Structure formats: structure tokens, C-alpha cells
Structure 1
Amino acid sequence: MNFFVRTRQKFSKIITGLFKKKQMRIGIYGPPNAGKTTLSNRIVRDWTGDAIGPVSEIPHETRRARRKEGVKISDEKGNSINIDIVDTPGVTTKIDYKEFLEYGIEQDEAVVRAREATEGVAEAMHWLREDIDGVIYMLDSTQDPFIQVNIMLVGIIESRDLPVIIVANKNDLPDASSARIKSAFPQHPVISISGLEGNNVEELYEKMIEYFG
């Protein structure tokens, strides 16, 4: 093999490496207690048998972003995606330590949790602006979606031109309404699920393959 052929092959490998598509990082975002970690655990457990973190009714239980790499999701047609799942802290415009006191947590610990939660929100926003390639935006479908944090976050996602799927979670509850969420964000696909019960998660997986593939 002459020098020019070897050089051309080496150059070709370098160019291929530069333009090779990286594994997508999919961030699960939304306000506190929307069910982000519950869904993260379900996705990771369904496809790897593992879990990503503990779930609690206490707000801001997730106070640091947690990442599970190499999650492969596939469908019956043979389509698949390989992604990293990033479970992020609940984003809100105000965190008050008094929120934690209502759950029987002592004041000193409540203050620490509030500080950690505030830092976690800043970290989640950094991920969104720098390191996330696609978003699953979680909403509690029993709650009003027209709140400041939702409008703000979806606006940031759109400004980065990221693919986003809106998930209307908790459809196992009697007062859930995915229609309310669809009316709030008609420009994006809305999938109604129960992360806890597993209702309709197959449709979500299919949409993830379509949007993040």
C-alpha cells in the first residue's frame, strides 16, 4: 500500500470520527413532583433492569442531576435508539426551606435541603443550556400547566431548537387531564402516561425513537 493510499485512509477515519453522531443525552425536565424520577426509573428499569434514583413525595428529593448511560430503546419494527437518560431536579422559581418542614423535617436539615435544591436547579439549567440534546418535559396532568416555570423552560428548550416530548403524567388519577396540557403546548407532541403504573409507556417509547433517533 503506497503512501498516498495510507494517507487517504487515515484522513478518512479522522473525518468520520469528527462527524460521528454522539450518543444523545435526553434530559427529563419539569417542575417538582411531576414524576421525573419515577419515569426515569421506569425507562432505565424497562431497558436495563437497573434504576436511577430514589422517589419520594417530599419536594426536591432529586437535588442533583443523575445520569444513566447507554440505554437502548427499541420497537417491534427493529428501530432503536441508544441514549443517556439525565434525571434532573425539579425546576421552580422559588425554593423555601419551610416547604420541607411540612413533611416533618427538622429546620437545620430543611435549610440544607433548600440550599442543595437551589444549587440543583442551577445545575439543571446548566445542563439544559450546554449538554442536553433532547428533552422529555414532565407535567403532572392533575395540575395547571399554565405556570411561569413551564412557560420559561419550554421557551428555553425551543430557543435551543431541541426536540421535545411533553409527557402528561399521572393519568391513573381521576382528575388528570391531558387535554389541558395539549391546549397549553399545542406545538409539541403530548403523550399521556402513568409513570407509576406504566400506562401507555409503549407509546412514549415509540415517540422517543421517532424524535430522538
Structure 2
Amino acid sequence: MGLFGSLRKSVSRVTESLFSADSEPRRIGIYGPPNAGKTTLANRIARDWTGDAVGPESQIPHETRRARRKENVEIKRNGKSVSIDIVDTPGVTTKVDYTEFLEHDLEKDEAVRRSREATEGVAEAMHWLREDVDGVIYVLDSATDPFTQVNTMLIGIIESRDLPVLIFANKIDLDEANVKRIENAFPQHETVPLSALEGDNMDEVYDKIAEYFG
């Protein structure tokens, strides 16, 4: 392509993003490990502002095995309006083991099928992260240890793309919740505590979404 071709392409991308920012909703990916409450949060946001859910919730790991999108979610806060497309992604992990599903009384054939689909879903989530999202809501279970290889890797990819990111410390309704541990794990990013299940602290959640992604 050559130097000048590359420059023209870069300028074109910047110009397109400048002139489309006000007309096209921003694609906000909801990321995090399995069972952190990503779909519960996506559904609460979608229901609060559109009346519709994004997808089914479950205690079974990897229930979300394909990225699901809710378009044109308009959030209005403090006189400001932001329009986003919510992309609820499969939980990212280094390995999906079919035995995880056997623990939830699924037959082996079903467990193997789900593990295969979940593995494909992880690849799809990574593609969205590298190519197709404009910002990230990173959901962590505040009752579990955030210092994992996957979390560090994903936050690193988000930072390498220079994407705006909010870290949500979910499940603060649990007795063992420890928001400070998440804040200490990723001090370079703002952490917002919430319970997507109970709806705790959602006003601040929406304030921050409007601030970061508007």
C-alpha cells in the first residue's frame, strides 16, 4: 500500500469516526469471566431503558455461548443522552471443560456440545474485543479473586486498543464481597460497585456509562 496509502487510510478512519460519532450508537462490549453476572447486568440495563431483555440468565457456566446484541439503548442521565449497542459476550476463560456442565446434571452429550459451543464463543468474544467494540464494561464477581491470568490478559488487550473501560464490581449483595480487592487489582481504572441482580447502585452505573461512553 505504501506510506501515503496508509496515511490516507488512517485519515479516512479518523474522519469517519468523527463524523459518525453523533449518529451511530457506540458498541459497548460487556466482558469478564464466566458467571460474573454479565448477562444479568446486560438484561437490567436493557430492561431499564428499553423494556426488553438481552438473553437468558442461568447459574450454569457458559450459558451465553454466542455474543448477543441489544441495539439503540438510550440512557439519559443529568440532562445528557447516550445511545449504545450492548454486546453481551461469552465469559472468557483459558479452557472450557465439559465436566463443568456435568456438575449441573446435564447428560454427557449435552455437556460436550455446550463445551464445544462455549469454546467457539470465547473465540467470538475475543474477535469482538479486538475488532468491533468501541468501549468495554468489564464485570467481575466481587466475591472472587480478580487476580487471574484471563483478567490480566483482557485488561491488557483493552488498554492496548485504548478503549474506554469501566470495571464493575458485581454481586455486592453477597456477604463475601470485597470491592477493595478489585480496586487494588486494577487501580488504573475506575471501579463501580453494584448488584445487577438486586439493582443496587444502578444510578451510579448509569451516570458512569453516560460519562465514559457518551
How does the TM-score come out when normalised to structure 2? 0.90
Aligned match of 1:70: 72
Aligned match of 1:31: 33
Task: Give the 3-state SS of the residue equivalent to 1:199 in structure 2.
Answer: coil
Write out the 4+ residue segments of structure 1 that deviate beyond 3 Å after TM superposition: 15-18
Per-residue deviation, residues 95-133 of structure 1 (Å, max 9, x unmatched): 010110010000001000000000000000000001000
- How far has the Cα of 1:80 moved from its partner? 1.3
How does the TM-score come out when normalised to structure 1? 0.91
Aligned match of 1:93: 94
Aligned match of 2:19: 19
Aligned match of 1:166: 167
Aligned match of 1:42: 44
Query: How far apart in 1 are the matches of 2:52 and 2:79?
Result: 23
The residue type equivalent to 1:162 in the other structure is: L
Task: Give the 3-state SS of the residue equivalent to 1:92 in structure 2.
Answer: coil
Query: How far apart in 2 are the matches of 1:16 and 1:129?
Result: 19
Q: Percent identity?
A: 70
5 Å-filtered alignment, 1:148-159, equals 148-159=149-160
The residue type equivalent to 1:101 in the other structure is: L
Task: Give the 3-state SS of the residue equivalent to 2:150 in structure 1.
Answer: helix
The residue type equivalent to 1:68 in the other structure is: K
- How far has the Cα of 1:23 moved from its partner? 1.6
Query: How far apart in 1 are the matches of 2:85 and 2:132?
Result: 11
Task: Give the 3-state SS of the residue equivalent to 2:84 in structure 1.
Answer: strand
- How far has the Cα of 1:24 moved from its partner? 0.4
- How far has the Cα of 1:68 moved from its partner? 0.3
Per-residue deviation, residues 139-172 of structure 1 (Å, max 9, x unmatched): 0000000001000000000000000000000000
Q: Which of 1 and 2 has greater Rg?
A: 1
The residue type equivalent to 1:156 in the other structure is: I
The two structures, once aligned, show a CA RMSD in angstroms of 1.3
Query: How far apart in 2 are the matches of 1:99 and 1:17?
Result: 42
Structure-2 change in CA distance of 1:16 and 1:192 (3 Å): closer
Q: Which stretch has the larger CA shift, 18-27 or 128-137? A: 18-27
Query: How far apart in 2 are the matches of 1:126 and 1:62?
Result: 16
Query: How far apart in 1 are the matches of 2:190 and 2:155?
Result: 13
Aligned match of 1:122: 123
Q: How many residues align?
A: 198
The residue type equivalent to 1:24 in the other structure is: R
Aligned match of 1:106: 107
Query: How far apart in 1 are the matches of 2:180 and 2:34?
Result: 21
Gaps of 5+ in 1: 1-14
- How far has the Cα of 1:18 moved from its partner? 7.7
5 Å-filtered alignment, 1:171-190, equals 171-190=172-191
